[in-house]
Structure formats: C-alpha cells, structure tokens
Chain A
Amino acid sequence: MRMLRQMLPLLAAVAGLLVLFRVWVPGFLAPDNMLDLAQQISVNAIIAFGMTLVILTGGIDLSVGALVALVGTTTVYGLIALGGTETQSVPGVMAAMLLGLGAAAAVGLVNGLCAARTRMPPFIITLATMLVARGAALRFNEGRPMHIPEVHTLFLWLGNGRVGCVVPVPVPVLVMLVLFVLAAVLLHRTRFGQHLYAMGGNREAALFTGVPVARIEAVVYVLGSLLAAVAGMINASQLYSAEPASGSGFELSAIAAAVVGGTSFTGGRGTMVGTLIGAVIIGILDKGLNQAGVHFSLQYIVKGLVILAAVYADVRRDR
C-alpha cells in the first residue's frame, strides 16, 4: 500500500502524458503503437535496473553505454567466428553470448573492485572504464559496423522476434519484464537488497553492523554490467549489426530513468518499480514528441526540463 502511494505521482505523470499524446497524436494509444513503445523502452529500462542498484549504494556507473557497444561487437564477433556465417550452430551462439557477458562482467569487476578496494570515486573509475570499453569496441573490424549474418535467426529473434498469438509481444519486452521481476526480487526480497539499502543509507554504519560492504559493492557493479550486456545484445540484434559507436549516452538515459523514478542520487533510496516507471516516462516522451513532429532540438530541451522537474518534486517531498 505504501509502495503504491509512493508511486502515485509517477503513475499520474504516466497517465497525464498518455492522455496528452493521445490528444496530440491520434492513434498514439493504438495497441501496435503501445507495443512499439514498450519495445523502445526495453533497452533503456534494462540498463536502468542495473543503474538503480549501483546508485542505491551511493555509486554511479558511466561505463554501461560503452558496454552496450563492446558487448555488441564482442558477441557478433563471436557469432561470426564460432556460430559460422553459412549455418547457425546453437552451441556457437551460446558461446558467443557468453563471450559478450564475460566481457561485460570483466569490466564490471574492474569497476567494482576499484570502487570497493580503493578510494577512487566511482564517477572517475567508470569514466575511465567507459573510455577503455569504447576503445575496445572500436578495435573490432577497424571500427566499422559488423553485419549479423542472416542465418543467425536465433540471435536476431532476441531483438526482433515476437511471442504470443493474441498479442504478439516483442521479445525484448519479455526479457525486460523477466529481468524486472528478478531485479525487484533481488532488491526488495533478499538480504543482498537489504544490505544495499543499508550501505547506501550509511556505509560506515552498515560496516559496523556486519554488512560485507566491499563484497556488495563489487557485486553490484558486475550486476550492472551484466544487465547492460543483455541490453547490448538486444541493441545489436535490433540493428542487425554490431555498431562500435552505438550506446553513447545510454548511461545518461538510464540515470535519468532511475532518478525520475525516485532513486536518490546520494544512495539509500529508490525502488525497481520506480525505475521502470521512470523508463516508461522517458520512453513516452521520446516516442510521443517524435510522433507529434516536434523538432529533435526541442525534444532534448523538453526532456531536460522534465528530469529537472521530477527531481525537484522528489527533493521537495523529502523535506
């Protein structure tokens, strides 16, 4: 009940935006358009789930956008090398995806260990690994996009497939929903989640209460990177190719979704539902303004102001 009350202003914002764009753009609420919207939200939402976990500890992860590109290139490279260009071998595809996840986990582990074991601020650590990851992505194929061979229907299904006979739900939306449930359970129903809140609220006090803060910090960055990896694979699949330059600015959208959803930037406060709704709000704005024919320059300005307003409302409610 308390959760619902907290989410009420956000849900009201979603409803308000939907009505607004329904008036502005006829057919905005049509089922097809809504499914399309959900599909567009999914990549950002998945990254934002991880970002929420990181921000809850009082940290930040700027490297996830570059990871989207790195995981895309690594995985597609693996697909071509292991899965073949003429035929599709399932073990090969699995291996390629593991390769992508592994690359992301490695970057996440570096972030996490640096944050936990040194006094370097997470902003700087992940700024540095962002550059490293982006550079690593550009090492593949001399920085040019790598096309995904059409035989790889399995991998292409991940970003473009639809499931269900009555309502054909896009696969990325299903992936997002499954990851949402997992992340929400992790955050709100496990000891790990309790410890995240404790650590973000007061790191010192959490340590004095026996919370393994260093381990949690390391794990949280790995989780954030793995979620970004899933987003990166979906992204590559949707583009039918691995683009080393893709994903730039994704980290900022994810931060925006988390913050609009009520995650406190100083850590210790925020929910997964909030972040999901935050991603939905950002998504509706993107799609709605686009379909309404608003010039993209104005879209940036509107989005910026909405984020400012949302955070201001959140800060005010706090007092």
Chain B
Amino acid sequence: MLSLRGVTKRFGGITALDHVDFDLRPGEIHALLGENGAGKSTLIKVLGGIHVPEAGSIDIDGRPAHIRGVADANRRGIRLIHQELSLAPNLTIAENIYLGREPRRLGLLDRRRMERDAAALVEELGLHEIRDVRTVVADLTVAHRQLVEIARALSCRARVLVLDEPTSSLSEAETEALFATLRRLREQGVGIIYISHRLAEILRLADRITVLRDGHSIGTQPAAAVNQRELIRWMVGRDVAAQAPPKSLGPGDVALEVRDLRSARVNGVSLELRYGEILGLAGLVGAGRSELARALFGIDAVESGEVRVDGRPVVLRHPRDALAAGIVLVPEDRKREGLIALQTVAFNLALPWTREWITGPVFHAQRRRAIVDRAIRDFRIKTAGPHECVLNLSGGNQQKLVVGKWMERRPKVLILDEPTRGVDVGAREEMFEIIHRLVESGMAVLLISSDLLEVLSLSHRVAVYKDGRILFTAPARELTSERVMEYLTGAKTDENA
C-alpha cells in the first residue's frame, strides 16, 4: 500500500538517502535497520513530511502521493511515533488522544464525549493497560505513554504507523505487551514500520527487514530467512565477533563490599565485587537497578547498611564521598546526568579534575590540556577538537566521553548504567572493548543493562535483581537469558532451582 522508489535526500554535501526503494504491505510489520547515520531517521522523516526528498516518488495505494508537510502525511494516514514522546504530561489520556481536535458542543469543550470516545477507542484497540482514560499522563509509565501515542495515531485513522526505537526505555515485560499490541494491529491491517537497534527483538517481531547502510538500501528480506549474525554483517558490512567476558586474571581482592544496603528503592542488597571482575546486574526496568547505582554513588540517601571499599567502610552522603573512595558512576541518562551540554569537550573532560589544574586562582592551562588530550586519545573520542561542543558528538562518542572523564586517575570501582543505550552497533563494539581494557587493567565493574544478552555475555558473574534486591548471584556461563527471564518475570521464585 506504501511504496517508495528512488528516494534521494541531500543535506548540503551529504547524501543521506541515495535512491532508496522501500515498500510496506498492509498488515505487515516491516523493520528498518541500520547503524546510526545510515539514513533510517531521514527516511521516516521523508515519510512523515518533515523532509521533502530531492528525487524519487512515494506512492500510496498505487497513486503518487506528494507529501509536503506533516499535515499531508497525517491526512494520508501516516503517523510517526518519535523516540521522545510528544504527549502533554499534565493532561489526561483522553485529552492527549484528542489534543488539537477536541470535540466541542456550543463552543465549549465536550469533556464527556471526549472521554467516552477515547474509552471506546482504547477498548477497540485492545489497549487495556490505558483503559482508565481520565488518568493523567504524568502518572503513566513510559510504556503506557507509548500506548497513548499509538491510540492517538490510530484515532486519526492512521494506516501506517512508524515507531522509532519504541523499546529503548521499556522493560522486557512491557516490550512483550507492546509487541502483542503491534501484532494485534497488524491483524487489523495496519502497516507498521519498526525501527530498533535490538536485533533479537526485530527477528522475533518483524515480517520483513530492510537494512540501510550509508544512505543505501542493502535489501529487503523476510525475517524468517535471516539470523542475527547475518543482520549485523549487513548493517556494518563486516563480521562482528561475538562478545565474551574479558579474560579474568583470576579472582582479585574484594574491591567493593556491600552489606544489606537500603535506600528508598533498594531493599537490602549485599554483594561483593572483586578487582578485574565484571558483575552484571540483570533486572527489568523499574526493578531499582539505577537506584542501587545512585545509592552507591552517594546521590540517593542511604538509610542503612554498610559499604566497604578495600575493606574500609565508606559513608556515602554526596558523590564526593563516593569519588574519594574510588567509586565512579557512568549514569543511565547521558544527556541529563552525564554531560554539561552547553559546554565543550574539554570542559566536560576536565571538570572532575579541577583540583589538578586549578590551585586557588592559578589556572594551569597546560595541565588541563594534558588531561583532556589523554582522555580523547585513550578513549578514541572522535571530535573536531577539544573546543567542540559536546552536543555535536555522536551518541557513542558522548558515551566514551562520559566514561573517559573519570579515567585520569583510575577509579577502583566503575559502575556502568546502561552503557550502550542509544549508541549504534559500531560504537557498542568500541564500548565493549573499552570495558574489556579497563577490567583487564584490574578495575572492578558493576554493569547494569536492560539488554539481557549483553549482561550475560559480558559479565563474569550475574546478579539477578528484582524489586530492589538480589535474588541470587551465579557465574554468567551457568545462566541463559530464558532462565533469568523466568526469575525476573516471577515464573520461578525458588532461588536454588
């Protein structure tokens, strides 16, 4: 029903899309794959009327469609659901669904009809999770907000739904629920274009897969005909080695010891982390994993329990206490917690080390320069120069910067919270390499990731984490993702099984 032929889009001298063909059938989930910068976003923005292509044609139901703006795209039933959700959090579900076209009676808002229609729509779509349409969106989880977006799109009779990385902040269970919804919509004849970095997920969900690389379409395949390895080779154009944990140099001394730690969302965690070891924390989003990280870094108040580094007790009241003890954190939300966005690469890299290059009112420009250059070099941060604004870096390079800024003096314990979120396949590999290097140099790493396979393949030991406590800890090679999932979703509760 939707078909793109020879679509070409240039930005200045860069060709973002080069004669791309793409088609979508009704009742199909069509995955769009590619590294960051491969042209996926441009393609969907062309579809959504945000960009106008220089060449090529878009046909809908066999008739040429000229999409010149977002309104055009909406009228033709194409709806984009962005990574950053576009809901008004202070309004209710019903109000959001009918935002901009609220039903009126005598010029006044007809709230009763709006709520009735919204409830009927939600019912019809089978989105039972958001049945209570009078709930304020701010009170919903990210997953449920996404459902509101979908309901809003379909309320305008959308026939083509474009989802950009919808699961990046969803837990496994929420992802499953979303998939069920998408499958149901597929049966109702909606065409779905699905963009994601998570290959396993795509293979499970999609009917067909189109891979973009450097603005070219590499081809379209039925999802049943390919496997993950092939997909990666398609995307990056080369083989990517499967991940394995770094070679352990034998168990080192205990670096971090936590006894019955409690904070607002952590319910008594005990763990031991040794030098040269990666301990993976496997848990669903919302299990309180980041909260454990925040407590260990002195951001959330610790209510009780004991934290020891090198056997010496540490009192954590402020990140400074954690830093003094040799604990650093690479936070979950890079943009919000990791970077000073207005500032340069150099500013960000030098910020943790002001003590080294400023003594009173004396400014040692050379020392600062040396710190910055070392980090850029050691972590291969691709940047036009130290004075470039951090916002101009790619996600992967921003992440390398957030890790690299801590490494001027090697910390003892490195906590990584979602280190590969929002970075492309190539940068992910580099991040793995960096983690390997740090661990082999003897650092102790606590790895938190929503990607279960990542946790299992990268860690030496895995702690299965649920509701703010560790269910059990086991060597990673003795665990499979299925088995971990069983515990996390509550299918199994016996800790010795």
- Which residues of A pack against B, CB within 8 Å? 185-186, 189-191, 194-195, 197-198, 201-202, 204-212, 264, 268-269
Contacts and interface: CB of A to CB of B under 8 A. Distances in A.
B299 A198 contact: no
B100 interface: no
Interface stretch (B10-18, B101-109, B336-344): B336-344
B336 A209 contact: no
A205 B318 CA distance: 14
A210 B328 CA distance: 9
Question: Interface of chain A, helix or strand or loop or mixed?
Answer: helix
Contact of B297 (A206, A208, A268): A208
B342 A212 contact: no
Interface string B345-366: 0010011101100101111000
Contact of A268 (B323, B343, B352, B405): B343
A191 B340 contact: no
Contacts of A195: 354
A189 to B, nearest CB: 5
A209 B342 contact: no
Given A197-B343, A202-B340, 16 more contacts: A190-B360, A197-B340, A198-B340, A198-B343, A198-B347, A202-B341, A205-B339, A206-B351, A207-B299, A208-B297, A208-B337, A209-B351, A209-B405, A210-B320, A264-B342, A268-B342
Nearest to A215: B318
B343 A201 contact: yes
Interface string B310-331: 0000000011101100000101
A198 B363 CA distance: 17
B337 A205 contact: yes
A204 B334 CA distance: 10
Contacts of B319: 207-210
B405 A194 contact: no
Question: Interface of chain B, helix or strand or loop or mixed?
Answer: mixed
B340 A268 contact: yes
Contacts of A186: 361
Contacts of B320: 210, 212
B342 A201 contact: yes
A191 B352 contact: no
Nearest to B330: A208
A194 B350 CA distance: 10
B331 A208 contact: yes
Contacts of A210: 318-320, 322-323, 352
A63 to B, nearest CB: 27
A208 B337 CA distance: 6
Which 7 residue pairs of A and B lie closest in terms of their CB atoms, listed nearest first? A201-B340, A191-B354, A201-B342, A210-B319, A189-B361, A210-B323, A208-B337
Contact of A206 (B318, B322, B340, B358): B340
Nearest to B318: A212
Contacts of B351: 194, 198, 206, 209, 211
B173 to A, nearest CB: 28
A205 B358 contact: no
Contact of A205 (B340, B354, B361): B340
